[in-house]
Amino acid sequence: MNFIVVGCGRVGEQLSFGLFTNGHQVVVVDSDQKALNRLHPDFRGRTVEGEVLSSDTLSRAGIDKADGVAVVTNSDTMNAVIGHTIRVHYPNVKQVIVRNYDPAMREMLEAFGLQIVSSTAWGAQRVQELLIDPSFRAVFSAGNGEVEVYEMYISPKWDGMIVSSLLDGCNNIICAALTRAGRAELPKADAKLKSGDVLTVSATFEGVKALRVKLQEGQEA
């Protein structure tokens, strides 16, 4: 696939090289040639120096053939303007993703209806989870961490309990899968849990927090 990465800071450099090593055609755009020099020496994509809001720069980057554009400059305002411009004037681009750095600017980006990734918000959420209880392993994060998929191991204390009893009273959480002896299934509400099972749940931070409290209470009982 053909991708354009706008902004060659730390995120842009890592993203560009990651896309390239996965076999995609990548063009990196930045107004500063020194920034483009950050690219990994093994990167074999193209680079374009120029003001990204210039139609000439976007044309040289191959915007007409791009499958997706990632706008990851260090300015939330610039990211919003660039992302909105591309989405309005280049409808052929299927995906436009913009980076959000300052959480205070997130609502402004969302007002443009843009798909955003907030490294700050997601990172803070993940660190919080690991500090509180690393036994709940987040395996997938939707949006910017508002909803995540967790894997949790069933302890001997919960052996023989049913899924509905475990989740009873915990809002904002649903059971996605139950894995036993390496085989996963979609469990029914009355499915019995066994020690060593891996329960996969989808939850908000508040939902998984309530489940942690319930498990802790069960261990102390």
H/E element holding 163? Answer: helix 163-167
Long-range CB contacts (< 8 A, 24+ apart) of 46-51? 47/8
Can you give the pLDDT at residue 152? 84
Q: In terms of domains, do 134 and 187 share one?
A: yes
Domain boundary among 101, 120, 139: 120
Q: Kindly report the number of other CB atoms within 10 A of residue 208's CB atom.
A: 23
Q: In terms of domains, do 138 and 156 share one?
A: yes
Q: In terms of domains, do 11 and 42 share one?
A: yes
Q: In terms of domains, do 134 and 215 share one?
A: yes
Q: How far apart are CA 117 and CA 96, in angstroms?
A: 11
Q: In terms of domains, do 19 and 89 share one?
A: yes
The boundaries of the domain holding residue 49 are: 2-120
Q: In terms of domains, do 109 and 11 share one?
A: yes
Can you give the pLDDT at residue 142? 83
Q: In terms of domains, do 116 and 145 share one?
A: no
Q: In terms of domains, do 110 and 184 share one?
A: no
What residues of the chain score a pLDDT lower than 50? Answer: 221
Can you give the pLDDT at residue 220? 52
Tokens of 127: 């660190």
CATH number at residue 169: 3.30.70.1450
Tokens of 29: 């755009």
Q: Strand, coil or helix: what is 32? A: coil
CATH number at residue 100: 3.40.50.720
For 170-215, write each residue's pLDDT tens digit. 888 999 999 988 788 999 989 999 988 889 999 988 888 888 887 7
Q: In terms of domains, do 111 and 144 share one?
A: no
Provide the number of structural domains found in the chain. Answer: 2
Q: In terms of domains, do 206 and 157 share one?
A: yes
Q: How far apart are CA 145 and CA 193, in angstroms?
A: 28
Separation in Å, CA 27 to CA 65, 118, 185, 204: 11, 22, 42, 36
Can you give the pLDDT at residue 130? 62
Q: In terms of domains, do 160 and 180 share one?
A: yes
Q: How far apart are CA 100 and CA 142, in angstroms?
A: 15
Q: In terms of domains, do 88 and 143 share one?
A: no
Q: How far apart are CA 79 and CA 36, in angstroms?
A: 18
Can you give the pLDDT at residue 137? 76
Alpha helix stretches (DSSP H) within 112-154: 119-132
Can you give the pLDDT at residue 96? 94
